[in-house]
Amino acid sequence: MKNKTYVIGEIGQNHNGSVDIAKLLVDVVSRPIHDKLFGQELKIMDAVKLTKRDLKQELSASQMNRPYANNNSFGATYGEHREFLELNDEEHFEVYKYAKEKGLDFIETLCAKGCLSILKLFTPDKLKVASRDLTNLPLLDALAETKIPIIFSTGMGGKKEIDDAIGVISKHHNNISILHCVSEYPTRYENVNLKTISYLQKNYSQYTIGYSDHTIGIATPLAAIAMGAKIIEKHITLDRQMKGTDQIGSLAIDGIYRMMRDIRNLDKSIGNEEIYIEDSVAIAKEKLERSIATNKDIVSGSVITADDIHMLSPGDGFKWTERSKIIGKEVINDISKDEIIYRSNIKDFE
């Protein structure tokens, strides 16, 4: 598909510390997507993404030890909460293998240099830099040194932060994708500012530009594609009512299906920057367009005047711009009122 969008299903921490839940999410995004109206099977998501943290390099000691008592907490302190949600390297590898079996790319967000240990087990198709780490230049340098393609989000950065990040990464390679993002969970629609995509396209045209979405629903990612975003990233879950801070702002099973159906149909709809008449329009064009027709009975031997004609369907006769070809010409057979005038009606038509 010429205009295919690269779609990433972000599992993030929505596995709630369970490899089985992560695999179920892989199963969900692997389901066939059907367009029932036209009887077509559409392409599923391209990739799933997990996030890997090194809790020794996560937060200050006081923040890790602070009480964390709320409905979404998996531990008495924030550190215990984070530890509960963390999958180890081998568990990430297990999900990676499962995703690859399903034909999906696998992307890792690595949040610290210590997370690079995961690369001893497998090589992700791409590495993701979270918005909060856009200014973590030592981490960016370590990630770029692997030569694995890098995607970063702009959710907490402006032009200076983007330029600094590119300056570090490009010392190692230029396989860089930039995702417009707003780090508000969920994002209010008035804060989305999709026109940032156009800004990134103009100012960073050598890179792939996309959109990481944190709004509720599927309208903004679709609009982002219409504006030229080549990558879409969206949080996914099994149930938006599940425990966890990201669940409510994610797409559940039905939402994932609807988004992918609409994205793939939108991919096919984008087309080319030109205007032309599709072959599929030919039947409707002939049936519905107007042609020059008689507005009174015309007998054989009469000469057609401008007062004798008006426009009726179907559209298989003369167009109004062609009226000079028949005005002043003799008809060779009777033509009833409100009938299309054809070449065969005109004497010596050339």
Residue owning tokens 């028949």:
326
Query: Is residue 1 included in any domain, yes or no?
Result: no
Q: Which domain holds residue 125?
A: 6-270
* Statement to judge: residues 317 and 172 lie in one domain: no
* Statement to judge: residues 84 and 181 lie in one domain: yes
Residue 2 has pLDDT above 80, yes or no: no
Query: Is residue 316 included in any domain, yes or no?
Result: yes
Query: Is residue 154 included in any domain, yes or no?
Result: yes
What mean pLDDT do residues 135-158 have? 96
SS3 264: helix
- Tell which of 270, 299, 317 closes a domain: 270
* Residue 194 near residue 223, CB atoms below 8 Å: yes
Residue 1 has pLDDT above 60, yes or no: no
Predicted confidence band at 58 (pLDDT cuts at 50, 70, 90)? Answer: confident
* Statement to judge: residues 139 and 122 lie in one domain: yes
What mean pLDDT do residues 135-154 have? 97
What pLDDT, on a 0 to 100 scale, did the predictor assign at position 350?
60
Q: Give this prediction's pTM.
A: 0.88
* Statement to judge: residues 199 and 254 lie in one domain: yes
Residue 303 has pLDDT above 90, yes or no: yes
* Statement to judge: residues 211 and 314 lie in one domain: no
DSSP string across 248-313: GGSB-HHHHHHHHHHHHHHHHHH--SS----GGGHHHHHHHS-EEEESS-B-TT-B--GGGEEEES
In the predicted model, what is the mean pLDDT of the chain? Answer: 93
Residue 272 has pLDDT above 90, yes or no: no
* Residue 85 near residue 13, CB atoms below 8 Å: yes
Query: Is residue 339 included in any domain, yes or no?
Result: yes
What mean pLDDT do residues 252-264 have? 96
Separation CA 292–CA 310 (nearest Å): 6
**For residue range 89-119, what is the model confidence (pLDDT) as tens digits?**
999 999 999 999 999 999 999 999 999 999 9
* Statement to judge: residues 241 and 334 lie in one domain: no
Query: pLDDT over 70 for what percent of the chain?
Result: 99
User: Count of domains in the chain?
Assistant: 2
Planar angle of CA 179, 181, 187, nearest 5 degrees:
155
* Statement to judge: residues 237 and 286 lie in one domain: no
* Residue 344 near residue 329, CB atoms below 8 Å: no
Question: What is the Cβ-side half-sphere exposure of residue 136, based on CA atoms within 13 angstroms?
Answer: 20
* Statement to judge: residues 166 and 77 lie in one domain: yes
Q: What is the CATH number of the domain that holds 122?
A: 3.20.20.70
Pick the range with the lowest mean pLDDT from 72-81, 97-106, 203-212.
72-81
* Statement to judge: residues 113 and 204 lie in one domain: yes
